[in-house]
Structure 1
Amino acid sequence: MRIGLAATTLVLTAALAVGAAAPAGAARPDPVRQGLDALVGADGVPGALATVTGRDGRTRVYTAGEDVPRDGRIRIGSVTKSFTAVVVLQLAGEGAIELDKPVEKYLPGLLRGEGVDGNAITVRMLLNHTSGLPDYELDVTDDIIAGRYYEPRDALDVALRHPAEFTPGTSWKYSNTNFLVAGLVVQKITGRPFAEELDRRVLKPAGLAHTYFPAPGETEIRGRHPRGYREQVPGGPRRDVTDIDPSAAWTAGAMVSTNSDLARFYDEVLTGDLVPDSLRDDLLTPAPNGPSGYAYGLGVMNFPLSCGGSYWGHYGGIPGFLTFSGAVGDGRSASIAVNLETAGGSEIPGHAVAVLDAALCR
């Protein structure tokens, strides 16, 4: 299970030919339709969904597979991290949080462990994965599927059983724990549940009516949605894991949304008022010593496009679903999802990335 898809494991050859060139005079095929059909037909995913908005403002919604509702709700996994980052940046713009102050200032005594010291980890390090905090994901996967409820600090306790990955600020490693702590900072500063702050600051202003943060103990997906499946090995048996308890993922990966809301969200992040103008450069500044193949800002990833330029967004995986979303900043935005969490080594995530590239390049 990957609450946060380790994007370095994806096949990031987004220039993959999703469809063959049309003969002269023939109608040009739709590469997104071709790509989704290939995910279902050739790759065997149960279903695929997509929303694509072009420079002209026209939005297209796609589905492929059986029992997949049009623009149905999906668990978005680590795409949640971008929402969490936006809330933190809004508070920073208001002066309530300073990105380069230590977490100790906001959560005194909380980050303690082998090689872990809250005095050495800044809020910025949480958002760009340079804190060295150990990840807890593999420890809680089975509990998520089994429906066990976790308080955020319970999940943090699981993480802090492990030693730090490295001295803060000296390297980069993706860790869900970073965004768990960021959510705790938001709650401490505001004195309100994170879900309330998210709704007030992001979901309502951006008009994301089909996006929500699950309530404690909520295991079912609200509204129309496809079933979600999980496989242990590529091509192996698939288990229905639609109804799970995502509480352990919390502000690192618990949210539910639709592709249309996600495409709109990332366009708003890049061009709207969700992120203070004074902090947009911070949002889009790649982390030092970052990953290969892509850049990581503050809760957002940057990938090159096969047609030139790049897009900002995030990928996410959680039992039942994989999601790939992003925007260019010129009106183009897209989100692709499949209702199958694949096992390591699967080519399906890379193929979905290629569809996202085709959607943004069309």
Structure 2
Amino acid sequence: MRYSQMRWRRACVGVAAASMLAVPVSTGTAYGVTPPPGPSLFTSTAGNNDFPELSPAVAARLDKAVRQVMREANVPGVMVSLSAPGKGSYVRTFGVADKASAAPIEPNMYMRIGSETKTFTVTALLELVDEGKVGLDDPIDKYIKGVPNGDKITLRNLAGMRSGLFSYSMDEGFVKALLSNPKRSFTPQQLLDYAFAHPVQFQPGERFDYCNTNLILLGLVVEKAGGMPLEEFIDQRVLKPAGLRHTVFPDGAEFPSPHAQGYTNQTATGKVEDTVDWNSSWAWAAGAMISDLRDLRSWARTLATGTLLSPETQAQRLKTEPTGIPGAGYGLGIFDIQGWIGHNGSIPGYEALSIYLPESKATLVVLLNTDILHGQTEPSTLFGQAITRIVTPEHVFNIPVVMPRPSPSPSPTS
């Protein structure tokens, strides 16, 4: 059986699938492109800092928009948290956590968060930067030997998705190995072996290319410089100081209760399966973590405001570079899309979105129990777009539908 590499390029997806150009596939879908700003609910004309009071009327519009996305994208269950100081909050759950039992999804349920894990791994790295134990412009081969172009690729290149390394999640052998036995365990070195079997795609810093290999390497750097396993470092140095009591980094398939079942069609047969007992070790530092709605609402603000880092390091984190995607920049393990700062995540069966709008101090978190695309669009993007179109029409969160480009020729120095 031939496994689709492009579908697995989505695994632990960040701003968008890796080597893509910003060329819309279609303008016919309601969700494929960002529409012109719609009518605002604002009663003030003060400008961009407006954010509507989350009144019953606004809540009703949000309810309608969320349900419409659920119907069109066939999402089993979703939870949403939206808040801004002085404007109130909107916390809702819709649909089911388990299609077999029809048990409703609840706001206290744990969910896998995919690439939002990257924000925790990079925060751990940046804490070590603040302590002088690593430098962002250090080459990766100072810490990890055997990396192609390792004397040129810096930690900054890795955190900013500009390394030029091949993503192990695009390797056909990896995909076959995972889908033939989704409960198997992978080590970080096994993941790197899949990646390093391929030549580098371009020279460091030349362009943005979303790559899970980058985060596996950064996880190993944190372990080496931090003197403890990555999971332990993140727990002690990131989760506890941030006050996150319902966020965990599992070793494999363990999943705290209560949790939702997760549904994917990224399977060996292409049929929809429940992934609740799949082993997430294959995603490790790039996408293995689990959290809940309350913790992610807090984390979105902590991440965007940099309370765990020095102001200088946070400023470097937030310095975004072009991605080739309209309205989207990527910093160090963080994106800025139309002014919303944060990250999204996709792992088979689950998707997450946690973003923060600095000018209104607004936080939006979306968690859902499927990663099945609607057309070629992530369902988390559909929810983010539908919600922000109502509350921040001048800052509509959207990752455009894009066409893949041909793979570049290997670098002559690879």
Which bracket does the TM-score occupy, shorter chain normalised?
0.7 to 0.9
Q: Which residue is 1:48 aligned to?
A: 78
Number of residue equivalences? 344
Report deviation, 1:122. Answer: 0.3
Tell me how far apart the structure 2 counterparts of residues 42 and 345 of structure 1 sit (CA, whole Å): 10
Kept after mapping to 1: 8 A contact 2:368/2:380: no
Q: Which residue is 1:185 aligned to?
A: 221
Secondary structure of the 2:184 match is coil
Out of 139-148 and 261-270, give the one that drifted further.
139-148
Q: Which residue is 1:264 aligned to?
A: 298
- Select which of 5, 21, 27 maps to 2:13: 5
Q: Do residues 342 (structure 1) and 372 (structure 2) align?
A: yes
Gaps of 5+ in 2: 1-7, 18-23, 25-30, 42-54, 97-103, 394-414
Aligned pairs for 1:307-326 within 5 A? 310-326=339-355
Q: Which residue is 1:307 aligned to?
A: none
Kept after mapping to 2: 8 A contact 1:14/1:357: no
Distance 1:6 1:279, change over 3 A: closer
Out of 28-37 and 326-335, give the one that drifted further.
28-37
Report deviation, 1:350. Answer: 3.6
Gaps of 5+ in 1: 305-309
Distance 1:120 1:20, change over 3 A: closer
Q: Which residue is 2:212 aligned to?
A: 176
- Select which of 324, 348, 355 maps to 1:291: 324
Report deviation, 1:358. Answer: 4.5
Kept after mapping to 2: 8 A contact 1:80/1:254: yes
Q: Which residue is 1:230 aligned to?
A: 264
Kept after mapping to 2: 8 A contact 1:156/1:177: yes
AA matched with 1:198: I
AA matched with 2:11: I
Q: Which residue is 1:129 aligned to?
A: 161
Kept after mapping to 2: 8 A contact 1:15/1:357: no
Aligned pairs for 1:110-125 within 5 A? 110-111=146-147, 116-125=148-157
Tell me how far apart the structure 2 counterparts of residues 5 and 18 of structure 1 sit (CA, whole Å): 28
Could you list the per-position Cα deviations for residues 259-307 of structure 1 after superposition, in whole angstroms to 9, with x for gaps in the alignment? 22112112012225212211111111113x5332200000001011xxx
Kept after mapping to 1: 8 A contact 2:166/2:213: yes
Identity of aligned residues (%): 30
- What TM-score do the two structures reach when normalised by structure 1? 0.87
Aligned pairs for 1:1-362 within 5 A? 1=8, 2-5=10-13, 7-8=15-16, 13=33, 28-30=57-59, 31-56=61-86, 58-66=88-96, 67-107=104-144, 109-111=145-147, 116-139=148-171, 140-141=174-175, 143-144=177-178, 146-215=182-251, 218-232=252-266, 237-287=271-321, 290-293=323-326, 294-304=328-338, 310-329=339-358, 330-343=360-373, 345-347=375-377, 348-358=379-389, 361=392
AA matched with 1:195: E
Secondary structure of the 2:79 match is strand
Kept after mapping to 1: 8 A contact 2:107/2:293: no
Out of 55-64 and 80-89, give the one that drifted further.
55-64
Kept after mapping to 2: 8 A contact 1:56/1:331: no
Kept after mapping to 2: 8 A contact 1:259/1:334: no
Kept after mapping to 1: 8 A contact 2:149/2:200: no
Distance 1:312 1:152, change over 3 A: same
Secondary structure of the 1:208 match is coil
Kept after mapping to 2: 8 A contact 1:51/1:263: yes
